[in-house]
Structure 1
Amino acid sequence: MMQLIVFFTVVIAVGTVSYGFRMMKLQRQGNIKTAMLTSLSLFGVMIAAFFAVGFITPIFAAQETNTAALAGISMGAGFKYLAAALSTGLATIGTGMAVGSVGSSAIGAVSEDPSILGKTLIFVGMAEGIAIYGMIISILILFM
């Protein structure tokens, strides 16, 4: 069941990317918000199904066998991995948003005055530091 959901999620992701490339090649204009909403909603449904099956399957399996032997790791270790993934993932999303706004502003400022290139690189580097902090927190979570 889990493999089927992963397969459909990959099919949706690959189909969305290939459809986008085809529309770019044909130079079609369209509503980008509608396309993104459709793609993200289908992908979100698949991710929700993935998590639902992931949470429901151990419950039914635990009724048949011993839970400790089935799990292999403790609940605390599972939360540890989840916390490490969330700290890195959310930090990376924040970095993408920060670098997007700071980078575009830096390009605009450098196009007006090329002598401030060094200063703008410092601001972009500070925005990228958020991802490094998230990764450091993940490493601390995993190895402490």
Structure 2
Amino acid sequence: MKTKFSKLFVTILIVAAVTCCGALGVFAADDANADTTAATTASETVNTDNDHNSSLSIGLVAAALATGLAGIGGGMAVASAAPAAIAANSENEKTFGKSLIFVALGESIALYGLVISIMILSKLV
């Protein structure tokens, strides 16, 4: 069981690192495009369609991975916290508030991923 968890943890870390690199690439490409357009005059034309398409595709993948992995992580957290909260509540009803906090913390992981993906998508527009 421990090796299965460690393999899953390493996989999630690798995918999160790739997602962060993709997001940083989008932000760097956005800054590079802003510098390029600021430096050009009205008579010069710059073909940035390929740069824009590649940064758009990387940004969309980064947003999808941020939302998807955060949803998976939130689901894993709720899957382990909710049964424990139900069991604790069945033994002692005073633990309801404390156990509800732990379940809500697990669900907040998915909300953080959604916020990050919205931030990435707002930079792409």
1:90 counterpart letter in structure 2: L
Using the size of structure 1 for normalisation, the TM-score is: 0.49
* Counterpart check, 1:119 vs 2:98: yes
1:138 maps to what in 2?
117
Give the C-alpha shift of residue 87 in structure 1: 0.1
Q: Distance in 1 between matches of 2:103 and 2:61?
A: 29
Unaligned runs of 5+ in 1: 1-67
Q: Report how far residue 75 of structure 1 moved.
A: 1.0
Measured against aligned partners, the alpha-carbon deviations of 1:16-72 in whole angstroms (never above 9, x if no partner) come to xxxxxxxxxxxxxxxxxxxxxxxxxxxxxxxxxxxxxxxxxxxxxxxxxxxx99x8x
Cα deviation for residue 126 of structure 1 reads: 0.6
Letter of the structure 2 residue corresponding to residue 110 of structure 1:
N
Distance 1:96 1:134 in 2: 12
1:117 is displaced (CA, Å) by 0.5
1:80 paired with 2:59, answer yes
Runs of 4+ in structure 1 over 4 Å off: none
State yes or no: 1:101 paired with 2:80.
Answer: yes
Displacement after TM superposition at 1:121 (Å): 0.5
Query: Larger relative contact order (C-alpha < 8 A, sep ≥ 6)?
Result: 2
Query: In structure 1, what is the Cα distance between the partners aligned to 2:88 and 2:53?
Result: 52
1:115 Cα deviation (Å)? 1.2
For 2:116 and 2:94, locate their aligned partners in 1 and report how far apart those are by CA, in whole Å: 36
Alpha-carbon offset, residue 85 of structure 1: 0.3
| TM-score normalised per structure 2 | 0.56
In structure 2, runs of 5+ residues without a counterpart are 1-47
